[in-house]
Amino acid sequence: MVKKTFKVKGMHCKSCSILITDAVSEIDGVNNVKVSLADNTVTVDYDEKKVKDEMIKKAIVAEGYHVRG
């Protein structure tokens, strides 16, 4: 398992947190998702053999947010 934090722009409320958590959690191989509105970050625990960073970024962008870095 790998834990990685992504900087996300555009999150404002609990609804944003729920949308991102649900979208990223649907990826096969993702174990845990933690969204911090205060830090504008999404921390994901995932199996690096099944999940690539681009898959996580794509899921976040598909919900209307921007991933920095």
* pLDDT score at 52: 97
* CATH 3.40.50.720 is the classification of domain 2-68: no
**pTM assigned to the model:** 0.94
Close Cβ partners of 10 (under 8 Å, ≥ 6 residues apart): 16, 64, 65, 66
User: Which tokens is 68 given?
Assistant: 């920095």
Q: What is the pLDDT tens value at each position of the chain, 69 positions in all?
A: 999 999 999 999 999 999 999 999 999 999 999 999 999 999 999 999 999 999 999 999 999 999 986
